[in-house]
Structure 1
């Protein structure tokens, strides 16, 4: 699935959102390491990411060839500042209509509209892939993200009070959200 779109952000900053490709592997891994170190709201810690550059490149090549999955990168001044992905919940026919969505952005780029651009791009890609439902989980205390998803049309359908167990803050409640496409 192909995606590429350029938009101007506040202050005239140009943002490119496009498919991640194999040559992005190292930069994407480095960005993921940083984003996962900058917030306690993401699924994993930096030391839990055990994929090397070669494995990441192969994974990106596979995703790039996929008709129903996508990994997007947000680029400012030639630098990857965030990423988002859409992936099938499972390959079984009963759940083939459902996809998962995840996103992360470097902290110094929060509040610029990048999250909304990546979210909108991911929704577009999920529709193109033929999904009829896009799902995500978000830490309840992450008010900025919850607000972003609600503005994009996601609705809460449940909560898990012990969804994450943070090394620093204990249990974190997860909000399950979905968007009908």
Structure 2
């Protein structure tokens, strides 16, 4: 899917939200490594990434060409500040109505409205793709993320007390959330 929007951040700076392309591979990969090093709330650690910049670019291009999946980059002053996307849960009939949502933002850009804008963009794309449900998992201690998702209407439908195993804090509880579209 393709997406493009210019927004104004809380600090008055413009931010471009757009679909990633093959040319964005290195910048998106650099952002992935950075964001996954800055917080313990994401699925993987930076060194667990196995993609090269070329492979990351191919991933982004495939999402842009997909009819029902997207990866949106938030660009501030020419730099990838964050990414968010939707992925189909599955292709079989019983799963075609569900998509998963994921997001990460570089720490220097926290609190500027990028998370809210990327979330809204992914919800919009999910509706356009025809999904009936958007899902996510969030670390229970991540109060700001929980507040954001609740603001958009996501509701909790379960918890996994040992959903993540952190190198720093041990097990982390995951809150399972869904949004009816």
- Give deviations 1:50-90, integer Å, cap 9, x for gaps: 10011112112211110000000001111100000100001
Aligned position for 1:160: 160
CA distance in 1, matches of 2:109, 2:54: 27
CA distance in 2, matches of 1:66, 1:56: 15
Counterpart CA distance in 2 for 1:18 and 1:11 is: 20
CA-to-partner distance for each residue in 1:23-48, whole Å, 9 max, x for gaps? Answer: 00000000000000000000000000
Does the residue aligned with 2:40 lie in a helix, a strand or coil?
A: coil
TM-score, scaled to structure 2: 0.99
Task: State the alpha-carbon separation in 1 of the partners of residues 100 and 140 from structure 2.
Answer: 18
In structure 1, the residue matched to 2:175 is: 175
Kept in 1, the 8 Å contact 2:2–2:65? The answer is: no
Cα separation, 1, equivalents of 2:119 and 2:6: 14
2:11–2:112 CA contact under 8 A, matched in 1: no
Secondary structure in 2 matching 1:11: coil
Q: Secondary structure at the match of 2:11?
A: helix
Q: List alignment gaps of at least 5 residues for structure 1.
A: none
Per the alignment, residue 146 of structure 1 pairs with 146
Give CA deviations for 1:96-120 in whole Å, capped at 9, x if unaligned: 0000000000001101110000000
Partner of residue 15, structure 1: 15
The aligned counterpart of 2:126 is: 126
Give the 4+ runs in structure 1 shifted more than 6 A.
Answer: none
**Equivalent residue number for residue 3 of structure 2:** 3
- State the aligned residue count: 181
Q: Does 2:53 correspond to 1:53?
A: yes
Report the TM-score, using the length of structure 1 for normalisation: 0.99
Q: Which stretch shifts more, 61-70 or 156-165?
A: 61-70
Deviation at 1:11, TM superposition (A): 2.7
What is the distance in 1 between the residues matched to 2:70 and 2:55? 17
SS at match of 2:15: strand
1:30 equivalenced with 2:30 (yes/no):
yes
CA–CA separation in structure 2 for the residues paired with 1:78 and 1:53: 18
